[in-house]
Structure 1
Amino acid sequence: MTIALIEDDEAILRSLSMLLESRGIPVKPYVSAESFLAESAAPPPQCVVSDIRMPAMSGMELQQELKKRGSAVPVILITGHGDIAMAVQAIKQGAFDFIEKPFDDERLIDSISQAIESGDRQRVELTERALLKARLAELSPRQVEVMRLVAKGFSNKEIAHKLNLSSRTVENYRAWMMEKMAAKNLADLVRKAIALGFE
């Protein structure tokens, strides 16, 4: 796993690469956003560090393009004084951080570490959500309905009344649904329901 470093000034690109590699951070340097996008790296980088102002595609346009492609890779933008408004705009659109030039080495290293942690967390969450959706797809419409009501805090008796079922039937649905969703207990089920976007 590496950091993609994008900077059109080759001297800056070299010195930044050396700085990061001296801290044990593997770097893949690129002189333009286009050259980075043209190379479909597998596995993708853990983090993208890009200059905001580049001759063709800007760091901000790169970040928008990655978002469009559904990439969850965190983007850190390096920005000059005149680009602050642009950088704030980029944050609003999902960039992880922006760092003003001339920057402190430690500030960049810290930001990269936080971005990698955040990216890892996001990947885990996306994997978990995909797994939950697959489990949800195995439930019958009635089981989904029971799950929704259980997650809202209704008792078996209340659910039975709402759905015009016997309490025993609701208990059976609930047991099946808990098993299929691999919910350890009610609190775990509620967390899973929230992760799935249940109201």
Structure 2
Amino acid sequence: MPEATPIVYVVDDDPDVAPAIAAALAPLNLNVRSYLSGESFLAEYDGTALGVVLLDMRMPTMSGLDVQDALRSRGFVQPVIFTTAFEDVESAVQAMRHGAMDYLLKPIEDEELRTRIKSAIEEAATTVKESLESAEARRRFERLTPREIEVLALMVEGKANKIMSIDLGVSQRTVEIHRARVMEKMEARSLADLFRLSLYLDLPN
């Protein structure tokens, strides 16, 4: 099944901006969607598609920073690139503090725009992948019993079976059984795989 085409969400009150952006990005074969206000964008955007938000800093009713704050409050993690026609260092600093990935001054050179958008989409793909992996790790983790969670925590610390049996007050054979169940329930192919999955979990100390 082919992957969906990444989307560039252009949020700008100037109706001429989106067509120019779409033309510049044509070589990348991306899906460009246009919104003339932050309100119209937020009403439609659900954060499920792979993409990047190209957000104008200054708009009449809802500023770019306000839109970015709304995205963050909803838990959306897609990269945001702010654009502005005004060279304002303070605004640039504000944008980055609000979680923007980048800040571009209009007019934007086509090649520069393509480079920044490609970079943002690559970051978005990585973020989505990590989010899915985290959710899957937590789903598997929920299968474990309290004792298996204790064993998992000791496994990722690199504890030997003998030490684990002392720490837990059980026989080494019991530890071996718990270890096998942890590996099976976490669907881990190796200890290295188990350690990678554990990075997404809140394990007991």
| CA displacement 1:146-182 (0-9 Å, x = unmatched) | 1001111211111110111111101110011011111
Residue 176 (structure 1) aligned with residue 181 (structure 2): yes
- CA distance in 1 between counterparts of 2:96 and 2:31 reads 25
Distance in 2 (CA, whole Å) between partners of 1:160 and 1:191 is 24
Residue matched to 2:43:
38
Partner of 2:60: 55
What pairs with 1:1-199 in structure 2 (closer than 5 Å)? 1=5, 2-21=7-26, 23-40=28-45, 44=49, 46-198=51-203
* CA 1:165–1:123: 2 relative to 1, 3 Å: same
**Structure 1 counterpart SS, 2:88:** helix
Contact 1:75 1:97 in 2 (8 A): yes
Structure with more helix by fraction: 1
Aligned residues: 199
Counterpart residue type for residue 175 of structure 2: V
Stretches of structure 1 lacking an aligned partner (at least 5 in a row): none
> Structure 1 counterpart of 2:81, which letter?
I
RMSD of Structure 2 on Structure 1 (CA): 1.9
Question: Does the aligned pair in 2 maintain the 1:17–1:29 contact within 8 Å?
Answer: no
- Counterpart of 2:97, as a letter, is K
Query: Structure 1 segments of 4 or more deviating over 6 A?
Result: none
Distance in 2 (alpha carbons) for counterparts of 1:134 and 1:39: 29
Measured after TM superposition, the shift of residue 41 of structure 1 is 5.7
TM-score by length of 1: 0.91
Q: Which amino acid aligns with 1:131?
A: E
Mean Cα deviation higher: 127-136 or 2-11 = 2-11
Q: In 2, Cα distance between the equivalents of 1:37 and 1:159? A: 52
Q: Percent identity?
A: 39
